[in-house]
Structure formats: C-alpha cells, structure tokens
Structure 1
Amino acid sequence: MIVFFHGGGFAFLSAASPAYDAAYCRIARYASAAVLSVDYCRAPEHQFPAPYDDGLAALRFLDDPRNHPPLLPLDVAHCYVAGDSAGGNIAHHVARRYALDPASFRNVRLRGLVAIQPFFGGEERTDSELPLLENRSMGKDVRVAEYPDAIHAFYVFLFPVFEDTRDFIIRIAEFVAESAPAAAASEQP
C-alpha cells in the first residue's frame, strides 16, 4: 500500500491531475501495490497544518478495514507514504506524526517514506535541522537516487520522454518489494 501526496506548491494540482494519475498507475503496476492518492486541502483556502492533518486522516481511514473495498485486499501492514515536491514535504510530516504514536493504529504499519524531490523551504538549514544532519538516517535504511539530467517532476512524464522515468519507477518498486513480507515478494513477477 502506497499513500501518495501530489506536488503543486501546496496550492496547485490535485490527486486527479492526469499526469499524476498516470504516474500512480505506473507506480502501482511496477510495485504491485495499491496506491491511494490523497486530495489534501490546498492553500490559500486552507492553512497549514491542513495538508498534514489530511494525510494523517488518510492513514486513519486505511486503518479501519470497514473502509476497504470488499473485493480489493489491502495490505496496510506494509504501508508507505510517498510524495513529490510539496507532496514529499507532506509525506515526511505525515510519517513523523505517525511515528509519534504508532500504537494508535491497529492495522497500518508504515514501512517507509519515498520523498521525491521534496520541498522543505529555504536554502539555509534552520537550527532544528542542523542536529539532524549528523544522524540523518537515525538507524534507518536511507537511499538516495540522483538523476542529474532530470527536471523537476520528471517521473510524471511518459517513458519515451525521459529514460530516467522508468528507472526511477523501478527503484520505487524495488524499495517497496525489499521490505515486503517474504511470501508476498516471492509471488511478484
């Protein structure tokens, strides 16, 4: 299960934007995972922390099996949050909020965060960010994929446009598959 937050500078686009919809389909197909795209509240009509609240509400929605489609089994015990640009920021903050009280979730277990070109603000590190630089992974597996010739949000374009798109989608799928249960991983093509 991948819970995805679209980009758009916290103010533009939506979960139903055609480019994002196509990207979700590619991610779902390559990762063999369900993708829930969150249509979070956007500025200027909604102030912070509304997008973070919406993200945590999406996890709480998934936590209740009564909300799952009857013919679609969802493995929320192996859940990832993902997002790009502003959505990467939201995914990060939703993961942090989840980590403050994971016991409040009966079924959802976050296994990872996919932050795609996340937007975090200015060029200079804040005082609160500086202590984190030394222990950035904090005991977690951290991977960085760099595409120096790519443009922002390159992966939402179809494969023929950017060769890096396919590679990037495959890297997301591998990241999700590596922490999936052994039985599920062996069933994947």
Structure 2
Amino acid sequence: MASSGAEEIVHDFPSIIRVYRDGRVERLRGTDIVPPSTNHDTGVQSKDVVIDPETGLSARLYLPNNNPHHNKLPFLVYFHAGGFCIETAFSSTYHNYLNSLVAKAKVVVVSVDYRRAPEHPLPIAYDDSWAAVKWVASHSSGGGGEVWLKDYVDFDRMFFAGHSAGANIAHNMGIRVGSDGPDGVKLVGMVLIHPYFGGKDPIGGEKTNMGRKAVCDKFWGFVNPSAEDGCDDPLFNPAKDPKLSSLGCNKLLVCVGEKDLLKERGCYYKEELEKSGWGGVVEIVESAGEDHVFHLFNPTCDSALAMLDRVASFLNQDK
C-alpha cells in the first residue's frame, strides 16, 4: 500500500517505473550498463562519444570487423526502446542486439542515448535524437571530429531503426528529414520493430483488449503530459500527422509480432502511409506466435534469428 507524504507513489507502472510524490524516480529494469568493447566472438568494436556536453547527449558507436579494403559502409542511426523512460544506449540488451546486427549486416551504427522521461518529458527525446542526426550529418562534408564516421561511412546509405518507443522516434526523425533536411546525407530506409504508436479510437484487435490499450494510452500521457491532442498527437498517431506523406525515405520495413497488441498499430501505419501519397515502398514482416520485442529477451530463438537476417538483408539491399 502506498504511504503518505513524500513516499506516496504518484505513478506506478509495474516492472517498468515508479515515481514518488517527492519527485524520486525508481526505474525497475533497464538500469544495467555495459562498457564499450571489442566483442570476442564477432570482432565488432564499440566506443562511446559525447555529442553535446551541455545536455549530456551521447551515443555508442559500433564498427564491424572484416572490412580489409576499408570500403565505405551503410550506416544506421539506432534509437533504443524502453517507453522513453527506461533503458539506455549502454544497456546490455541493446549492446548485445547491436553487436549481433553489426556483425550480420556489416554496417556502422550510431546508437543514440537520448534523455528520458519523466525527468525530461517528451518532446526532449525527439529533440535529442534530431541533434544526434544532425551531428552525424555534419561529418558528411569532412567536418565533425569522429574518425569512424569520416573514414567508414557512406553518407548516401543512411538508415534509421528502433524498437517500440525507439521505432516511434525513428519514424518521427524520418518525418523531420523529409521536411527539414539535414543536407549531406541520404536517408535510404527505416526499420520499425514493434513500433509504439496509438490513437484515441481503438482499431482491430484493440477492441477486444481494451485493458492493455488503456495501459498503452496511459503510458503515453505519462511520458508526454503536454500533448494537446492526447493519444491523437501526431507524434503518437502518425495517421493524424499532415506531414505523413513527406516521410524522408523511399523504403520501410515494419516488423510486428502476432501476439503483440501493437501489431494493430504497425499494420495500420502501413495502410495510412500508403494512402497518404508517400511514394515509397513499405513491407510488413510478422513473427508468428510472438509478443512484443520477444527477440530482445530470447535472441537465439528461430523467430529472432529470422528477424535479424531480414533486417540485415534490408540494410544491404541498396548495395
């Protein structure tokens, strides 16, 4: 039972996060941090960089092994999951996933460590992520100080990707690319894995699982309390975004899980994007029998390995 005064719980999302009356935030998972390294099994190298010392915005970079000719490689700007409020770019979950993806796809990765709610409510995570995209782009003309980007990256082959809330960020960064630049890079495509989208009106299977939908909706209000349109905020419901047709890439891979409530929103996103007048190609890949971000918790299962292969293939289709 919640106690009175400063110890009173004002927000409680079991197994995720708890916030107390005095402002104290207790993150219930995703708090572990692993250092950058050279992976023993894959040879993938990683290192951490500070993008903006004033805000603390930083990133973890990944470089694949076995590039003897020092060819310019596709690169991926990746946004981690965690409901905008838990996990980091340095969590073991995302470090291990990106080690595997980099080894499989032979791409350079910039994994963005944006500031998190509730201490930094949305849209701060979007603004941080956009600052990271612009920082990456600043290297395209020989500027910037990061050697891995200047020496190994083909700026005509940029991708965005993310899981869940990170997929939401990736989409919204794609919208900004289409309307605001930046110059010097070409966003070829995006990979949205189990994207965290929503909307006021239930669709499809949401109508028979209103309890889970209510939790998803409540969580959006928690991380973005200033959203004027609630769950129909265009940042959360892309169908309400007048800029949807300006999405700044020409191909898109959306991964959904058969048992994931958010599958409905991933499929609806595809439909709305195709109706918007956007001129690209969007493909849905469904993992049979699987729930939300299953591959992060069971990365060696057959469905997870199949998804990894499909994402790696997508990132290399333009070669």
TM-score with structure 1 setting the length:
0.84
Moved over 4 A (4+): 125-128
Count of residues paired in the alignment? 177
Amino acid at match of 1:43: A
Q: Distance in 1 between matches of 2:159 and 2:87?
A: 22
Q: Give the aligned partner of residue 179 of structure 2.
A: 100
Q: Distance in 2 between matches of 1:83 and 1:159?
A: 16
Distance 1:69 1:128, change over 3 A: closer
The alignment-based identity, stated in percent, is 33
| Partner deviation per Cα, 1:83-138 (whole Å, 9 max, x = no partner) | 01110101100110111022x422x2111111110101246275972697261572
Q: Does 1:17 align with 2:125?
A: no
Structure with the largest fraction of strand: 2
* Equivalent pair of 1:56/1:98 in contact (CA under 8 Å): no
| Partner deviation per Cα, 1:134-185 (whole Å, 9 max, x = no partner) | 615722111111013112112224543x211111011111111112xxxxx3
**Gaps spanning 5+ residues in structure 2: where?**
1-74, 203-231, 245-271
* Equivalent pair of 1:61/1:67 in contact (CA under 8 Å): no
Distance 1:74 1:165, change over 3 A: same
Structure with the largest fraction of helix: 1
Q: Distance in 2 between matches of 1:2 and 1:128?
A: 22
Name the structure, 1 or 2, with higher relative contact order (CA <8 Å, separation 6+): 1
Q: Give the aligned partner of residue 120 of structure 1.
A: 197
| Partner deviation per Cα, 1:52-103 (whole Å, 9 max, x = no partner) | 111111111111222322584122321111001110101100110111022x
Amino acid at match of 1:111: V
Distance 1:124 1:60, change over 3 A: same
SS of aligned partner of 1:76: strand
> Which protein has the larger Cα radius of gyration, Structure 1 or Structure 2?
2
Q: Give the aligned partner of residue 133 of structure 2.
A: 59
Q: Distance in 1 between matches of 2:83 and 2:118?
A: 11
What is the Cα-based RMSD across aligned positions, in Å?
Answer: 2.3
SS of aligned partner of 1:79: strand
Q: Give the aligned partner of residue 166 of structure 1.
A: 305
**Gaps spanning 5+ residues in structure 1: where?**
180-184
Q: Give the aligned partner of residue 182 of structure 1.
A: none
* Equivalent pair of 2:108/2:152 in contact (CA under 8 Å): no
SS of aligned partner of 1:156: helix
* Equivalent pair of 1:68/1:74 in contact (CA under 8 Å): no
Distance 1:25 1:88, change over 3 A: same
Select 1:29's aligned residue among 99, 103, 109: 103
SS of aligned partner of 1:38: strand
SS of aligned partner of 2:159: strand
Amino acid at match of 2:314: F
